[in-house]
Amino acid sequence: MAMALSRIRIPSLPALAAYAADLAAALRPGDVVTLSGPLGVGKTALVKALARSLGITDEVISPTFVYQQTYRLPTDSSIRALTHLDLYRLTSDADVTALGLVTEDPTGVVVIEWPERAPTLASRATLQLTWTFAPDGSRDLTSEWRRP
Ligand SMILES: Nc1ncnc2c1ncn2[C@@H]1O[C@H](COP(=O)(O)OP(=O)(O)OP(=O)(O)O)[C@@H](O)[C@H]1O
Ligand SMILES: [Mg+2]
């Protein structure tokens, strides 16, 4: 398994947008990205920025109450869709199954907030992003690629 660990500081929303642009260029169909970190650290903000970088023009909403949203990409993209899950209100992998959520998409990318709620699902991530608050209020982001 190829692994690469890196850590960067993201001090602002423009810096987040720049990071999202780099991430968009690195993602491939079939990738599953987990977003871990405390309330308000910027997980949804990253998904919004990533959607912009992938060419999605629909408004990205936080799926905390609907669990899942899927956005189509422009037809010239090699990635067909971005699926955004937020498992905050779930308690287990069984909940994910019961709700019939999309947990992988060979033609698209799946991003998952609160992956800790569903450990089996989380274990299949190809990229794990883990956020912490820095003392000055900016964000530190650790990323670990786990592509097979
Ligand atoms: N790097 C950053 N610098 C400054 N502000 C940021 C940064 N990232 C996110 N924010 C701001 O922090 C707030 C909370 O972000 P967001 O909703 O993305 O958090 P979240 O991690 O998704 O939280 P939750 O766990 O509740 O879903 C937003 O107002 C967002 O604009
Ligand atoms: Mg969120």
Cα–Cα dist 53/24, whole Å: 6
Q: Which residues pair with 52 in a beta bridge?
A: none
Cα–Cα dist 5/127, whole Å: 10
Q: Point out the ligand nearest to the CA of residue 41.
A: 1
- Tell which atom from ligand 1 comes closest to the C-alpha of 131: 21
Say which CATH class 4-145 falls into: alpha beta
Q: Which of 10, 36, 44 to mutate to test the pocket of ligand 1 (most atoms within 8 A of CB)?
A: 44
Tokens of 88: 């905050």
Ligand 1 pocket list (CB less than 6 A): 10, 12-13, 16, 37, 39-45, 113, 139
- Residues 30-48 have pLDDT tens digits of 999 999 999 999 999 999 9
Query: Which amino acid appears at position 71 of this protein?
Result: Y
Domain boundaries, the chain: 4-145
- Residues 79-102 have pLDDT tens digits of 999 999 999 999 999 999 999 999
